[in-house]
């Protein structure tokens, strides 16, 4: 079993040469699109909650005025 142990060679480890830094310009990571989607979703949920609450209030109003 001792022959399956991997060891690093003695001495300094080889390193890759340093790459030259080239700025790529502005990077679009999708944060603006994600924020817009979240805002739209929140708006839809708020409107939907108000519609549901209005319908529930209408049901209570109609049930309170039954003869």
CA–CA gap between residue 60 and residue 56 (Å, rounded) = 6
Q: pLDDT confidence of 21, banded at 50, 70, 90?
A: confident
- Residue 32's pLDDT is what? 85
- pLDDT at residue 19 in the model: 74
User: Considering the chain, what is the average pLDDT of its residues?
Assistant: 83
Q: How far apart are CA 21 and CA 59, in angstroms?
A: 67
Note the pLDDT of residue 6. Answer: 67
Phi then psi dihedrals of residue 65, to 5 deg: -105, 15
């Amino acid at each position: 079993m001792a022959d399956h142990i991997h060891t690093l060679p003695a001495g300094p480890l080889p390193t890759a040469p340093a790459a030259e830094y080239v700025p790529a310009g502005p990077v679009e990571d999708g944060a603006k699109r994600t924020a817009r989607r979240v805002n739209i979703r929140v708006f839809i949920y708020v409107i939907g909650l108000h519609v549901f609450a209005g319908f529930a209030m209408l049901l209570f109003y109609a049930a309170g005025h039954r003869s």
